[in-house]
Amino acid sequence: MVAARLAALKSSYDTSPEFRQIVRFLFAGGLSAFVNWLLRIALSVVMPFWLAVLLAYFIGMSVGYTLYKHFVFVGAQKPESVKRQILIFLGVNLCSALIVLGLSVGLNAMLMTTLPVFIAQAFAHGFAIAIGAVTNYLGHKVITFRQTR
C-alpha cells in the first residue's frame, strides 16, 4: 500500500514540470528566507527592527536571485541583458519587501502586547516572509523568469 502511494507520488512528480518548479522554488526560497530570518535576528542586535528587516530581506534576496536563476526557472527566456533582469527582479522583490515590512511591523506591534519581544518579532517576521514568498513566486514566474514558448 505504501509502495503504491510512493509510486503514484513519484509518477505525478515526474509528469508535472509545474510541480517540480514549485518544489524547487520552495526549497530555494526557503533557504533564502532562512538566511533572511537569521540575519534579521543578528542585525536586530545593532539596529532598529524595521531596518534589520529591510537589510536582511535584501541580502536574502541576493541569495534568492542566484538560486532562482540557476535552479528554479531553468527554462526561462535568456534575458536581453542580465542588468535588465536584475532590475526586474529587484522590482518584483521591492513589492514583496513592502509587503514583508508592512506585515512584520504590523504583526509585531499587535503581538508585542501579549508575547515577549523576541518571540513577537520572530513570529511576525517569519509569517511575513511566508506571505512574501507567494508574491515572489508569482512575480518571478510571470515577469522576471518568463518561460520560453
**What pLDDT score was predicted for residue 108?**
95
CA dihedral (108, 128, 40, 55) positive or negative = negative
CA distance 28 to 22: 10
Say if pTM beats, i.e. exceeds, 0.95.
no
Q: Give the HSE-up count for residue 113: Cα atoms under 13 Å, Cβ half-sphere.
A: 4
The domain locations on the chain are 17-144
Q: pLDDT, tens digit, for every residue of 125-141?
A: 999 988 888 888 889 88
Q: How many CB atoms lie within 10 A of CB 134?
A: 12
- Report the first-to-last Cα separation within the chain, whole angstroms: 40
Query: And the C-alpha cell for 27?
Result: 526549497
Summary mean pLDDT of the chain: 86
Report angle CA 134, 21, 18 to the nearest 5 degrees. Answer: 95
Q: Which residues pair with 76 in a beta bridge?
A: 147
**What pLDDT score was predicted for residue 10?**
64
**What pLDDT score was predicted for residue 96?**
87
Q: pLDDT, tens digit, for every residue of 92-117?
A: 988 988 999 999 999 999 999 999 99
- pLDDT at residue 149 above 70? no
Question: Please, which pLDDT band fits residue 52 given cuts at 50, 70 and 90?
Answer: very high
72-86 burial by CB neighbour count: b if 16+ within 10 A, else e?
bbeebeebeeeeebe
Q: pLDDT, tens digit, for every residue of 6-24?
A: 666 666 556 678 888 888 9
